[in-house]
A and B are shown apart, each in its own frame.
Chain A
Amino acid sequence: AQSVSQHNHHVILSEAASLELGCNYSYGGTVNLFWYVQYPGQHLQLLLKYFSGDPLVKGIKGFEAEFIKSKFSFNLRKPSVQWSDTAEYFCAVRRQAAGNKLTFGGGTRVLVKP
């Protein structure tokens, strides 16, 4: 079955710490990869996306992600987090053969302590 796994359900860290959130998917073929963020009380917003080309993609607010095809992974990173990065982060995969359906990971709640 198709699945998207996010390894950590909850992450707590202090401001200025580095953040890395893992995302793995379980099927082959051509995929498009996304990270969305949901700040408290707000709607899902796109952080970054990968379609093709350079596997290291940069998004908004200093986030970046690396696509490693051999590992079926698309991990999200930020070198130095801020309190305002407190949110829930979702990895999503679109398998091109399956149309435009997004399959989401379970989400990771990140709490940044000031």
Chain B
Amino acid sequence: KAGVTQTPRYLIKTRGQQVTLSCSPISGHRSVSWYQQTPGQGLQFLFEYFSETQRNKGNFPGRFSGRQFSNSRSEMNVSTLELGDSALYLCASREGTATSTDTQYFGPGTRLTVL
């Protein structure tokens, strides 16, 4: 099976703009989670979607939002970009059949730079 894919791999934006990142999960996986990775804060959970519904949300401002489509692909959006939003954004997918044995598999990430 193909792994988790994320597009684009690199993005450069300026402050105040908005950005949309895309994630395609492993075939058959119904859950997608998003994480932000920065040198200062490490890996932090943003949110999780399962069957087009947000199931869990991390401690990020409302400028960060996401959605999931019926084919399980997911997008996350960041509005009014700030310099501190520069990070590697990781998407992870899991089957979603049973929490107790499910494992998240990560994509390569989208490197966002805000100037």
| A interface residues, Cβ below 8 angstroms from B | 32, 34, 36, 42-46, 49, 51-52, 90, 92, 96, 98-107
Tell me, rounded to whole Å, the shortest Cβ–Cβ distance linking A93 to chain B.
11
Q: Which of B45, B55, B100, B101 touches A102 (beta carbons < 8 Å)?
A: B45
| B interface residues, Cβ below 8 angstroms from A | 31, 33, 35, 42-45, 48, 55-56, 58, 90, 92, 94, 99-109
10 intermolecular pairs with C-beta atoms under 8 Å apart: A43-B106, A43-B107, A43-B109, A44-B106, A45-B106, A96-B99, A99-B55, A99-B99, A102-B33, A102-B92
Q: Is the CB of B58 within 8 A of A101?
A: yes
Contact partners of A45 in chain B: CB under 8 A: 106
Q: Which of B42, B44, B48, B107 touches A107 (beta carbons < 8 Å)?
A: B42
Q: Is the CB of A101 within 8 A of B33?
A: yes
Closest to B90 in A: A44
How far, in whole Å, are A101 and B36 apart by their CA atoms in the complex? Answer: 13
Q: Which of B45, B102, B104, B109 touches A103 (beta carbons < 8 Å)?
A: B45
Q: Is the CB of B99 within 8 A of A100?
A: yes
Contact partners of B101 in chain A: CB under 8 A: 51
Q: Is the CB of A46 within 8 A of B105?
A: yes
Contact partners of B104 in chain A: CB under 8 A: 100, 102
Contact partners of A92 in chain B: CB under 8 A: 43
Given contacts A36-B106, A43-B106, A51-B100, contact A100 B94 (CB under 8 A): yes
How far, in whole Å, are A51 and B99 apart by their CA atoms in the complex? Answer: 10
Contact partners of A51 in chain B: CB under 8 A: 100-101
